[in-house]
Amino acid sequence: MEVKVKSNIKVKRSTQALEEIRTIKSREEQLQRRPALTDRTFGRLVPKRRENGNKGTFGKVLVIAGSRNMAGAAILSARAALAAGCGMVMVFTDECNRTIIQTAVPEALLATYDGEIDEEVAYNALDWASCILIGPGLSMSDEAKRLVDITLEETVNKPIVLDADALNILSEEANAMKLAGKSVVITPHVGEMARLVGMPISEIQTHMTETAEAFSTHHGVTVVLKDAVSVIASPRRKTYENHSGNSGMATAGSGDVLAGLIIGLIAQGVKNADAAILGAYIHGRAGDFAAEEKTAYAMTASDIIAHFPDVFRLAEK
């Protein structure tokens, strides 16, 4: 029987749900559905660069991110999208972040709001973009909630990546049904997924694959469920585990980088599921290169972006 849990999203009670989820596939079938990319195999998913392409060819990303005193998430996501190869990035953020973002990411266009959301500005930004990332550092303010509503209501045929605060808003306001029929990737860590489905974090961690597959199937979205080993599930596709990466990536901003990387790949025409799988692998391998250079203790999220080129060179080989 379905009930409404604290998050207001309809899910089955945890014990009953897990029993039903386990019947989706046998253990043997699950293992067959959970391959991991390697340095020898990930290159097949990397988008090819058109020699005669221009910045429009490689896609336009709208990053709706950041809030007062929280500009870093928007910066990291925008820089990651650009370093992933997309053609153009526009950041839509609080006016107070203007100077720091224009200084930190001079390649990015900027649209802002100050106090209240100017819906015409928001609609124009959404219309300009070929794909949208929303959530990093967005906060739980009324303005942030309105931006999530506008994005889900107005975006029909464009891919959307929902991350961080966009997922927290989704769980708080019971907007999950607005995902239906849209091209969506969600990138929750286990805490955010626990809020989305109303289960304890410990149960999510114990049943990562089942949880990701169940949410993906029920809502028709691609799920990147993040933990030490991440699970990527998408409707009617194999479920992947990602084993690249290291403990140094458990650092502020690492998730913002992953979200920016995934949307940057989508902008270049990579399908949602492939972008999620590929993004998780590139993110982890770049983190491995960063740890080799800086150690797992001293590396930062910016170091992950700095090592994207090393991973793309592996693909070229």
The per-residue pLDDT for range 134-172, each reduced to its tens digit, is 999 999 999 999 999 999 999 889 999 999 999 999 998
The predicted-structure confidence for 281-294, as pLDDT tens digits, reads as follows 999 999 999 999 99
Q: Predicted confidence band at 179 (pLDDT cuts at 50, 70, 90)?
A: confident
The predicted-structure confidence for 221-269, as pLDDT tens digits, reads as follows 999 999 999 999 999 899 999 999 999 999 999 999 999 999 999 999 9
Is residue 44 classed as helix, strand or coil in its secondary structure?
A: helix
Q: Any idea what DSSP says for residue 47?
A: P
* Pairing verdict, β 160-162 and 184-186: parallel
Domain boundaries, the chain: 52-316
pTM, rounded to two decimals: 0.91
Q: What is the structure's pLDDT at 247?
A: 98
C-alpha 280/C-alpha 259 separation (Å) is 9
According to CATH, the superfamily of the domain at 52-316 is Ribokinase (3.40.1190.20)
* Pairing verdict, β 131-134 and 240-242: unpaired
Q: Any idea what DSSP says for residue 49?
A: P
Q: What are phi and psi of 158, to 5 degrees?
A: -115, 145
C-alpha 163/C-alpha 59 separation (Å) is 20
Q: What is the structure's pLDDT at 277?
A: 97
Least confident of 8-22, 176-190, 194-208: 8-22
Asked whether residue 317 carries a pLDDT value surpassing 90, the answer given is no
Q: What is the CA radius of gyration of the chain?
A: 19
Q: What is the structure's pLDDT at 156?
A: 85
In which residue are the tokens 């286990």 written? 190
Read off the tokens for 228. 């030490």
Q: Which of 261, 260, 279, 264 is nearest to 86 (CA)?
A: 264
C-alpha 195/C-alpha 207 separation (Å) is 15
Residue 122 is which amino acid?
A: A
Is residue 198 classed as helix, strand or coil in its secondary structure?
A: coil
C-alpha 264/C-alpha 268 separation (Å) is 7
C-alpha 30/C-alpha 86 separation (Å) is 34
Continuous segment of H or E residues that includes residue 269: none
**Averaged confidence pLDDT in the chain:** 90
Q: Which of 67, 43, 79, 15 is nearest to 210 (CA)?
A: 15
Alpha helix segments (H runs only) across the chain: 14-22, 27-32, 72-83, 98-104, 119-128, 142-154, 165-173, 190-197, 201-206, 208-219, 254-267, 272-298, 301-306, 308-316
The predicted-structure confidence for 26-79, as pLDDT tens digits, reads as follows 444 554 456 789 999 999 999 999 999 899 999 999 999 999 999 999 999 999
The angle that helices 208-219 and 190-197 make with each other, rounded to 10 degrees, is 50
- For residue 290, give Cα distances in angstroms to 21, 287, 298, 310: 37, 5, 9, 10
